[in-house]
Amino acid sequence: MKTRSSVEVAFEKADFSLGILVAIVVLLSWLVGSVSFAEVSASAGKHAIAKEAFGKTTEGKAVEVYTLTNAHGLEVRVMNFGGIVLSLRVPDRNGKLDDVVLGFDRLEPYFTNNPHFGSIIGRYANRIANGKFTLDRVEYTLPKNDGPNTLHGGVKGFDKALWRAEPSENKKGVALVLRYTSKDGEEGFPGNLQTKVTYTLTDYDELAIDYQATTDKATPVNLTSHGYFNLAGQGTGDVFAHELLINADRFTPVDKNLIPTGELLPVKGTPLDFTASIPIGARIHDNYRQLVLAHGYDQTFVINRKGPGLELAARVHEPSTGRILEIYTTEPGVQFYSSNFLDGTLTGKQGRVYQQHYAFCLETQHFPDSPNHPSFPSTILRPGRTYHSRTVYKFSADKK
């Protein structure tokens, strides 16, 4: 057996220690690079996505917020509770970013006082008359949460569900995939509904929302996003100066309970004619029955479609900031709501009080109460079929 000298032993120990030191340095560099990936990507002009805790549900389950940023700095924050868009920061004509959607700074108000701010709406967006419908000779009864009607899926709709979230990234931008299983009988609806909603923020300054669902029993499905927009900045004032164009020659008139009569009437000659751009506040107080019934705008417009695929639903321009929002969708209709029931009792982000008409909503969807109107486009999803819907919100600014 060869005996090592003390010098050889000393050199071996030094080599071993140096190896450990190098390994530690490499590991620390990797960790620092991983932790700061989102920040580095954003500062380098690349899209990024980050996650943070946002509290817990009343059942003690963790709620998380995902921040998606594109190469131009446009930023959207989405939480897995209700798939709610917490904030949406977009640039004005001078490049200044501002939050253009209403909401709350904290999680708790979303449990109790939320008028569906930024939420995914389901299983059925809008109203179902008298809280019931008949499908395949079976009558289904739903909870009534809007006078005699069921509104936005009932008492506990998709806006109050905790979704499973999975972030992803590709060449076009960053995405957040949300999944939720609505069980058979939930809020009175039949069938186990497997639902998938994907938010994608592209480097073309577009926020795309893709909806997908399958069921094991025939059921109505009508999904949308209930964003409350103010392109001048959330909580800064009413939206009367916003110039609105809606690509629709017809609308669905409603009765005193805001349920469609079944007719499709022309907008021409009425305050509902937005086929040419006009300020939202120009005719909102006209003595027109449909406006009086809804205390403002709350009507479904029948989009002028040239065929399947994405079609322009609406375009909004805010003159003071130059911000422009264009909405494209595969849906047959868009609900224009002028936040008639905000009344100053809600304090939102940055301590701002939300008064009546401080926002507008443009909810792409099928028509209200379609399960009770066979003449309307069908909202019935059957086993073996897949529900698909896509809406794109494109942001830009004028160069004035």
Name residues whose C-beta falls within 8 Å of residue 153's C-beta, 6 or more positions apart in sequence: 121, 122, 123, 124, 125, 159, 187
- Name the CATH architecture for the domain at 82-397: Distorted Sandwich (2.70)
Residue 45 is predicted with a pLDDT of 62
pTM of the predicted model as reported, rounded to 2 decimal places: 0.88
Higher pLDDT, 400 or 319: 319
Buried b or exposed e, range 306-317, using 16+ CB within 10 angstroms = eeeeebbbbbbb
Q: Which of 311, 363, 366, 373 does the annotation list as catalytic?
A: 363
* DSSP for residue 108: T
Catalytic residue check, 64: no
Q: How many CB atoms lie within 10 A of CB 148?
A: 11
Q: Which of 226, 242, 317, 357 does the annotation list as catalytic?
A: 226
- pLDDT tens sequence across 128-145: 999 999 999 999 999 999
- pLDDT tens sequence across 218-263: 999 999 999 999 999 999 999 999 999 999 999 999 999 999 999 9
Catalytic residue check, 47: no
Q: CA 359, CA 95: separation in Å to the nearest integer?
A: 22
